[in-house]
Amino acid sequence: MFAVRTYQLSIAEPLEIEKLEAKFPYNKSNMLDKLKHLRLKDQSIVNSRLNECNNCEHYIKSTTTCKKCGCFMKIKAQLSNQKCPIDKWGPVYDQPTT
């Protein structure tokens, strides 16, 4: 017998990595650790990316998602290796290590 857990994410609330961690505690050792490793340490880059999205015709403000890639931008913008599907912003590879 398999136990199936389901989680429901609200698209109305801001989704951040810490909030995902609280919702998915059993993934802490794999997926979320990888996300933390990729997380941008320079908040100004994240803000710059989100600013581009906020002014983009493909951004859906009510869901904070992108029509082009379908991603939640408040999460995607925090990850250093991600890029805009139409090259409005790109990946960052030279962030300092901790």
Which is closer to ligand SF4, CB of 66 or CB of 75?
66
Buried b (16+ CB within 10 A) or exposed e, 39-77: ebeeeebbeebbeebeebeebeeeebbbeeeebbbbbbb
Tell which one of 34, 86, 90, 91 touches ligand SF4 (CB under 6 A).
Answer: 86
Residues forming a β-bridge with 60: 65
What's the rounded Cα separation, in Å, for the pair 50 and 71? 12
Question: What does the angle CA 15 – CA 19 – CA 20 come to, to the nearest 5 degrees?
Answer: 80
Tell which one of 68, 70, 81, 91 touches ligand SF4 (CB under 6 A).
Answer: 68
Report if residue 16 touches ligand SF4, rule: CB under 6 A: no
Q: How far is CA 46 from the centre of its chain?
A: 10
Chain residues 48-67 in contact with ligand SF4, contact rule CB under 6 A: 52-53, 56, 58-59, 66
Which is closer to ligand SF4, CB of 57 or CB of 94?
57
Report if residue 40 touches ligand SF4, rule: CB under 6 A: no
- Sites of contact with ligand SF4 (CB under 6 A): 52-53, 56, 58-59, 66, 68-69, 73, 84-86, 88
